[in-house]
Chains A and B, each alone.
Chain A
Amino acid sequence: MAASSLASRAVASLSPSISTGASRDDAGSSSVVGFHKRSSAFTGRRVRISSGHGSSAAHGRRSCVVAATAAPVKESPPKIADALVTREEGLELYEDMILGRCFEDMCAQMYYRSKMFGFVHLYNGQEAVSTGFVKALKKDDYICSTYRDHVHALSKGVPARQVMSELFGKATGCCRGQGGSMHMFSKEHRLLGGFAFIGEGIPVATGAAFNTKYSREVLKDLSVDAVTLAFFGDGTCNNGQFFECLNMAALWKLPIVYVVENNLWAIGMDHFRATSVPEIWKKGEAFGMPGVHVDGMDVLKVREVAKEAIARARRGDGPTLVECETYRYRGHSLADPDELRKPEQKNKYAVRDPIAAFKKYLLENGLASEADLKAIEKKIDEIVEDAVEFADASPLPPRSQLLENVFADPRGFGIGPDGKYRCEDPAFTAGTAEV
């Protein structure tokens, strides 16, 4: 793809008439010209979405798999030449989205059973963005998220067990129970967080991208070609750090993609009430980078744009701003009564469920059978069940863990009155020393 293709699309695309929701129609206007007609599985036909009851009834927990209960879609013989993904890729994408949905539904159940606490922000409805982008990355690439980070962590490869344990506040969590829902980190999987304040992850992501450039140009290590993705929402796009980082990334051509998950709401603040120019993708141009708008409910469209933006970054051509039009089916957090969003808007997006749409696509294009997909759903059900059991059975962090990770170098606790470094005091790691 020519480097200018993203830029030309941004300029040439129709400005989607983004108003108070009425005209955000099912065709899913997208600047990915030429693809959406073929990949779109949206027909406007209503499908009812309900939770299935699966094999975990014995444990008193409902299966979390979301299954469309409309008339089953006819399976077709493979139309491989027309399809935008291979069967393998398709199944991988489907599995990842199902994992995201299932995991989040289980989080809701566990929260209401007092297994997890505090602020928990669920990702239901936005799976196409995480799957579409993160599955287009290489293992060494970085991602940086916000407080709505469970599914980003799962897509990147953090085991469900570790994420669930972290949510339960157990010592086996990915952050030893010290981070919680809003602070998922994984060094192994290159997940740079998990941040509670909006916008504060964007500079961190920009720094990781700077490191790639530094490694190549100063350290002369051309084997380093890691691209960084920064995920954040519509509310963040009115925050200073967003603009400051777009400027620096464009200035220094950093290998980063800024992914806006525009779900139209920042807690109870309607995007159109908060933003003078609601088309976020337009703001890329102000900083000299391509700004792309994509239908965030369609995993194949997202993946298409993602691959191009990531390739552009990896080539050294600089950053891209991608606005994904998406929606969260649940409230801002599990504590949000979600009273402000109108049922009409919610229903409009319910029929555009990315999982149902992709399932339809796979079946209609003969890439998978009902049985294949059922098998995946069952597999994920078991993974999530197992994650809960593991988290339940895991130990709580002992008191001695309290001071362990405050400093990378524990000499930072200083020299005590007895002349020894405080961390040398045996009582220190038993958790009984005073600091």
Chain B
Amino acid sequence: MARDPTVCVIGEDVGHYGGSYKVTKGLAEKFGDLRVLDTPICENSFTGMGIGAAMTGLRTVVEGMNMGFLLLAYNQISNNAGMLHYTSGGQFKIPIVIRGPGGVGKQLGAEHSQRLESYFQSVPGLQMVACSTPYNAKGLMKAAIRSDNPVILYEHVLLYNLKERIPDEEYVLCLEEAELVRPGKDVTILTYSRMRHFVLQAAKTLVERGYDPEIIDIRSLKPFDLFTIGNSIKKTHKVLIVEECMRTGGIGASLRAAIVDNFWDFLDGRPECLSSQDVPTPYAATLEDATVVQPAQIVVKVEQMCQGLV
């Protein structure tokens, strides 16, 4: 925002309140109420307003207070953010970033625990990235703002408390690249967002037991970085996807199809996928835990794969 005066933030409580998860804390004081615009509660309209502003020259960052609220903005995100560059024959670009916290939290209830990456992934013309650490959050946010494409940046409700030393100076990550988190040779584990941390937790156990998993945080949910993913599969011949989306129609489902299409010859067995249950996320802690993938399940699955039991 300091570098480019056309960058502005639009959303509920982003200004004076500093954001529901304090992502925009201090920005309104620094840049003013018009650049960090507190909107009334009308997601479809203020997202559309962000799109109209982007079409005419601004670089808007629209925040969904919870990504689930952006279901109300689906009309604008699909028809106008995703498709308008195409239907206008390339005349108008929409350099918008749509971001916010999503995913399953701690007993937030079904409606606040949604995985919008699953619903938006089909919309043509959108790019989608998911950050998972303070380091990649900064780099991906900058890349998304500077991109001329409409980018949806998925943050996770439970990852805002992560602490990490990151460079003060500017760095911009590549929107289309995946991140090799841990090199290995036994199995390729593809994951993103909060599940990255569960996978790393499971990896500790796996390493103790003598396994050598290669862990890739795919980051780019649309498009997939098939180069990084492919190189890994060519090495390990086994792939496990660990995601928070539901079994049906999630990122994992699409990724499995892409892997089968492109790397069939390199696979020893079918690509495996651990996803959340196809249920509205329950409030009760035990049920909520049963809805999402847990580190213990990841350990079991990897062991089965490496022992040829699946």
Which A residues are closer than 8 A to B by beta carbons? Answer: 142, 144, 173-180, 183, 185-187, 192-197, 200, 202-211, 213-215, 217-219, 240-241, 244-245, 247-248, 251, 404-409, 411-419, 421-422
Q: Please measure, in the bound complex, the distance between the C-alpha atom of A411 and the C-alpha atom of B88, giving whole angstroms.
A: 19
List the 5 shortest-distance A-B pairs measured between CB atoms, nearest first. A207-B52, A203-B48, A414-B223, A175-B89, A185-B88
CB-defined contacts of B49 to chain A, threshold 8 Å: 203-204, 206-207, 210, 245, 248
Contacts of B94 in A (CB 8 A): 408
B15-46 at interface with A (beta carbon < 8 Å): 32, 34-35, 39-40, 42, 44-46
- Residues of B close to A408: CB separation below 8 A: 85, 90, 93-95, 148-149
Is B220's CB within 8 Å of the partner chain A?
yes
B residues bordering A, Cβ < 8 Å? 5-6, 8, 32, 34-35, 39-40, 42, 44-58, 60, 75-76, 79-80, 84-95, 124-125, 127, 147-149, 175-177, 220, 222-228, 230, 262-263
Q: Is A414 a contact partner of B52 (Cβ separation < 8 A)?
A: no
A213 vs B52: C-alpha distance when bound (angstroms): 13
Q: Are the CB atoms of B91 and A206 closer together than 8 Å?
A: no
Q: Write the chain A residue with the least CB distance to B47.
A: A203
Closest Cβ of chain B to A110, distance in Å, is 20
Bound CA–CA A209/B52 (angstroms): 8
A218 to chain B, nearest CB (A): 5
- Complex formed: what's the CA distance from A240 to B48 in Å? 13
| Residue of B32, B49, B94, B225 ringed by the most chain A CB atoms within 10 A | B49
Q: Are B85 and A207 in contact (CB under 8 A)?
A: no
Q: Which residues of A contact B52 (CB under 8 A)?
A: 144, 192, 203-211
| Complex: A194 Cα to B95 Cα, angstroms | 20
Contacts A207-B51, A407-B149 known; A195 to B79 CB distance under 8 Å? yes
A240 to B43, CA, bound (A): 11
Contact between B79 and A200, CB atoms less than 8 A apart = yes
Contact in complex: A244, B53 (CB < 8 Å): no
In the complex, the chain B residue whose C-beta lies closest to that of A144 is B52
Question: Cβ of A194 and Cβ of B87 under 8 Å apart?
Answer: yes
Set B48, B127, B223, B226: member contacting A200, Cβ < 8 A: B48
Residues of chain B within 8 A (CB-CB) of A176 are: 89-90
Ordered by A's residue number, 25 sampled pairs between the chains whose C-beta atoms are within 8 Å are: A187-B91, A196-B79, A202-B48, A203-B45, A203-B51, A204-B80, A208-B56, A210-B49, A210-B52, A211-B53, A211-B56, A213-B34, A240-B44, A248-B40, A407-B85, A408-B95, A409-B147, A409-B148, A412-B127, A412-B175, A414-B176, A414-B222, A415-B176, A415-B177, A415-B225
What A residues does B228 contact at CB under 8 A?
A: 415
B6: nearest chain-A partner, CB-CB = A219
Q: Do B226 and A405 touch (CB < 8 A)?
A: no
How far, in whole Å, are A415 and B76 apart by their CA atoms in the complex? 27
Task: Determine whether the beta carbon of A241 is less than 8 Å from that of B44.
Answer: yes
Question: A411: which B residues are within 8 A, CB to CB?
Answer: 175-176
Q: Which of A178, A204, A415 contacts B227 (CB 8 A)?
A: A415
CB distance from A57 to the nearest CB of B (A): 35
